[in-house]
Structure 1
Amino acid sequence: MDVKEVLDIAMLSGEILLTNGSETYRVEETIERICSAYDIESECFVVPTGIFLSGCSKNDTKDSISLVKRIKERTINLHKIEMINSFSRSLKDRRISYDEAMKFLKGLDSAPSFPYYKSLLAAGVTSFAYAMLFGSSAINGIVAAFISILIYYAEDKITVINLLPFFSEFIWSFITGILAVFINKYILPINIDSVIIGSIIVLFPGIAITNGIRDALYGDILSSQVRLAEALYTVTAIGAGVGISLLLMKYWM
């Protein structure tokens, strides 16, 4: 396998990791592991929005290639991260051909994952637990679970609309506040504060904060600052959405 093919495999693996919520150091480590498995000397630099990779054959240092990949969209899928981790480690024991490797990597988009109903159930259980954690009753937890499942489902189905960064979090937190006040006013009395806290927890950027701290611990200061800033903007958007919804409902109702 030539240098270009190895770098293509490594770059696609890194892209999958980065777009699915992996830490920066893990992406660099995986790329270097894949290149090393095929006797390619490589240097890579990864930030949350891009991957810079160069490599050359250990036998012919003049045969050098550099690749750059811009990352425009990021989501969270720990299942794909785990599969890429297993894939990169398996190459140490068994090298596979270029076609076989690319077939596996490109097939991850259609790889079976958790059933969608389990994701909805997890969102509901998480919101119920957080509502109860803040001293709420079971009925408030159930309402929070209902709202979070509704928000999670709507957010997932409307991802085809390319909203501005952080604007989607603002919209969904705004709708959460409206729903909580509406239910309290016209359906049954609830603790609005605990219901809103439980409902918006599915929007909270927990992975971004965790990865930002872990990147800092590994010395990737630039990536750490980017991820923590992204988390801060997301939290600000969520807070603004809830605050504006409560302010509007105060005067309309």
Structure 2
Amino acid sequence: MTKQMQKKILILALFAGETMMKSGAEIYRVEDTVERICKAADMPYVEVFAIPTGIFVSIDQGEDNREMFTYIKRIRGTGIDLGRISELNQFSRDFASKDLTVDSGMNWVKQISKTKPYRLPLRLLGASLVSSFFCLMFGGDLKDYFCAFFIGAISYLLSILFDEIETNFFIKGFCCCALATILALVCSSLGLGSSSSAIIIGALMLFVPGVAITNGIRDMLAGDMLAGVVRIAEAFCIAISLAAGAGVVLRAWVAFGGAIL
């Protein structure tokens, strides 16, 4: 196999792994996908090491006169797209079982990576429903439900704007939760809502890093201790940003003579 073909296989495998990692996939799933793609291209020796910030891949044909190829891919920025993870997971299995060329596989992965998320109105509706129903779960009444419905949509829209300008997760979580807290306090003070605490908790649940915590625990149980610790540390920092955003606003509200209902 030529060096050019080995390079193309590595690029394909790394691109698929990078897309999965940026979509919030578990470490073992990323490593399995990269390994499947390389071995499907007749690479008997494949070593993959992935962490949330990078993927390291080495391939070798196993012959004494062949040199080993090692590539490193830096991962910047992550999100959550379970549909894209599922499609890439299926792609790796189809690539291994079907007679696909590397070029056709690359085109397939590029199409998956360009898949657009749900439309904005539908995502805003989902955020509103999540926020409002969590508000009810934490003791809110019907007035609080409608307040949380609109506050959830507004705070989620702000998070989308921060994603567009590629703001780091701490500032995004801080500002979104601060905005939600301000709106909840204003609604309660105007009599539009009964319990600002229930409204705030409902809005904050939109940004709780549940997937990061779950993936961190799963990675640790799978033996990827470093990746698991990194994921849990990231989730911990996000939780701090959420608490800080709400706490600063509540403290300022009380300092300026406001009442927390």
Normalising by structure 1, report the TM-score: 0.94
SS at match of 1:190: coil
CA distance, structure 2, for counterparts of residue 66 and residue 179 of structure 1: 52
CA distance, structure 1, for counterparts of residue 64 and residue 102 of structure 2: 20
Residue number in structure 1 paired with 2:162:
158
Change (3 A) 1:126 1:189: closer
- The one-letter amino acid of 2:240's match is T
CA distance, structure 2, for counterparts of residue 177 and residue 60 of structure 1: 64
Residue number in structure 1 paired with 2:231:
227
- The one-letter amino acid of 2:22's match is T
SS at match of 1:216: helix
The runs of 5 or more residues in structure 2 that have no matched partner are none
CA distance, structure 2, for counterparts of residue 122 and residue 234 of structure 1: 21
List, as ranges, runs of 4+ consecutive aligned residues in structure 1 with deviation greater than 4 Å: 58-61
The CA RMSD measured in Å over matched residues stands at 1.7
CA distance, structure 1, for counterparts of residue 91 and residue 128 of structure 2: 33
Residue number in structure 2 paired with 1:168:
172
Matches within 5 A, 1:12-161: 12-40=15-43, 41-58=45-62, 62-161=66-165
Deviation at 1:165, TM superposition (A): 4.0
Change (3 A) 1:65 1:21: same
Deviation at 1:6, TM superposition (A): 1.3
Which of 8, 11, 23 aligns to 1:8? It is: 11
* Equivalences, count: 253
Residue number in structure 2 paired with 1:192:
196
CA distance, structure 1, for counterparts of residue 67 and residue 174 of structure 2: 49
Question: Is the 2:52–2:230 Cα contact (8 Å) retained in structure 1?
Answer: yes
SS at match of 1:55: strand
- The one-letter amino acid of 2:36's match is R
SS at match of 1:51: strand
Deviation at 1:58, TM superposition (A): 4.6
Identity, % of aligned positions: 33
- The one-letter amino acid of 2:70's match is S
- The one-letter amino acid of 2:12's match is I
Deviation at 1:24, TM superposition (A): 0.6
1:179 aligns with 2:169: no
| 41-50 vs 164-173, which moves further | 164-173
CA distance, structure 1, for counterparts of residue 57 and residue 88 of structure 2: 18
Deviation at 1:81, TM superposition (A): 0.5
SS at match of 1:188: coil
Change (3 A) 1:91 1:58: farther
- The one-letter amino acid of 1:29's match is D
CA distance, structure 1, for counterparts of residue 158 and residue 234 of structure 2: 22
CA distance, structure 1, for counterparts of residue 219 and residue 59 of structure 2: 24
Question: Is the 1:79–1:113 Cα contact (8 Å) retained in structure 2?
Answer: no
Change (3 A) 1:189 1:130: closer
Question: Is the 2:132–2:145 Cα contact (8 Å) retained in structure 1?
Answer: yes
Deviation at 1:244, TM superposition (A): 0.7
Normalising by structure 2, report the TM-score: 0.91
Question: Is the 2:49–2:56 Cα contact (8 Å) retained in structure 1?
Answer: yes
Deviation at 1:94, TM superposition (A): 0.8
Question: Is the 1:3–1:64 Cα contact (8 Å) retained in structure 2?
Answer: no
Question: Is the 2:219–2:227 Cα contact (8 Å) retained in structure 1?
Answer: yes
SS at match of 1:26: helix
Question: Is the 1:169–1:203 Cα contact (8 Å) retained in structure 2?
Answer: yes
Deviation at 1:112, TM superposition (A): 4.5
